[in-house]
Amino acid sequence: MTMAKSASLATTLPVTAQMPRHAESGRPDAAAAQSDRAARIGGVILDMQNISLAFGGVKALTDISFDVREHEIRAIIGPNGAGKSSLLNVISGVYTPQQGAIVFKGDRYARMTPRRAAEMGIARTFQNLALFKGMSVLDNIMTGRNLRMKCGILAQALRIGPAAREETRHREFVENIIDFLEIQAYRKTPVGRLPYGLQKRVDLGRALAMEPRMLLLDEPMAGMNIEEKQDMSRFILDVNDEFGTTIVLIEHDMGVVMDISDRVVVLDYGKKIGDGEPAQVRANDEVIRAYLGVAH
């Protein structure tokens, strides 16, 4: 299984070569855009300290420490089963680590809960899509607004008084997300009828509807063709640029990682074996042995 994904690493993707975003904004190239972004990167917003997580005898994460800076795109890479999704699940409160602490905006937590993470502005997408296939694109993205709805479920269902006004406001917000993600043509389409690449985009829209300060993306480009990957890369960069959202991204395609991330954490068998800027990580011997070996 490791081999299958490793093999795809050998093919790098020239995402930046064809991204219209930079041309439109008059910027000469992706490197300039990346340095614009680097200038905006702030202090540490999330600090994971010595996190260990086991399932019975399986050590999913062993003593992992790393930080995420405000406004950066932080990639997590590693072979299958390395612990990448587990790490996102610890950040979003789905898994409770046996050891370690999570410091978010200076507050220290031994564990996160999904509710607390959401309230603190942490939103996520899922490796395996968790959308309601029979519901429309618009209604799926609306589910991301739930936490922000003040009126009770009953008032919402009956659409009475303030609930009706509130619903209108939220719908407007969702329509803006739909425009931003360029999926206007599908707003009423049941999500299950859309091609996979567009479903991933809807999942991103659902997370954006939470107006997150930090967005956790678990393989947002898995199973996509090159064109779909280019689109998704552009949307991730645009979210980061336009909304200033901090992004933690699990991705197997090294071309994408090299192109859009500011710093990269490398996991292998639940341990951290590399951490740094993309070029540094790519040159790290241990990383090459564990993960990039086939490319050399």
Query: CB 172 → Mg ion: shortest distance, Å?
Result: 35
What sign has the CA pseudo-torsion 190, 194, 196, 199?
negative
Q: Which does 82 bind (CB under 5 to 8 A by kind): ligand ATP, Mg ion, none?
A: ligand ATP
Q: Does 230 bind ligand ATP (CB under 6 A)?
A: no
Query: CB 19 → ligand ATP: shortest distance, Å?
Result: 26
Q: Does 220 bind ligand ATP (CB under 6 A)?
A: no
Could you give the CA distance from residue 189 to residue 193 in angstroms, rounded to a whole number?
7
Q: Supply angle C-alpha 199, 34, 201, rounded to 5.
A: 5
C-beta of 50 vs 176, nearer to ligand ATP: 50
Q: Which does 273 bind (CB under 5 to 8 A by kind): ligand ATP, Mg ion, none?
A: none
Question: What part of residues 82-141 is at the interface with ligand ATP (CB under 6 A)?
Answer: 82-86, 127
Exposed, middle or buried by CB within 10 Å (0-12, 13-18, 19+), for 112?
buried
C-beta of 94 vs 155, nearer to ligand ATP: 94
Listed in sequence order, the residues at least 6 apart from 33 whose beta carbon sits closer than 8 Å to its beta carbon are 21, 22, 25, 27, 237, 241
C-beta of 3 vs 154, nearer to ligand ATP: 3
Site string for Mg ion, 81-120 (x = CB under 5 A): ---xx-----------------------------------
Question: What part of residues 37-66 is at the interface with ligand ATP (CB under 6 A)?
Answer: 55, 58, 60
Question: What part of residues 115-154 is at the interface with Mg ion (CB under 5 A)?
Answer: 127
Q: Quick count: other Cβ atoms within 10 Å of Cβ 80?
A: 12
Burial 81-95 (b: 16+ CB within 10 A, else e): bbbbbbbbbbbbbeb
Amino acid at 29: D
Instruction: State the number of CA atoms in the 13 A half-sphere of 20 facing the CB.
Output: 4
C-beta of 6 vs 246, nearer to ligand ATP: 6
Q: Does 78 bind ligand ATP (CB under 6 A)?
A: yes
136 within 8 A of 203, measured Cβ to Cβ: no
Q: Does 80 bind ligand ATP (CB under 6 A)?
A: yes
CA nearest neighbour of 259 among 287, 279, 284: 279
Q: Which does 58 bind (CB under 5 to 8 A by kind): ligand ATP, Mg ion, none?
A: ligand ATP
C-beta of 127 vs 143, nearer to Mg ion: 127
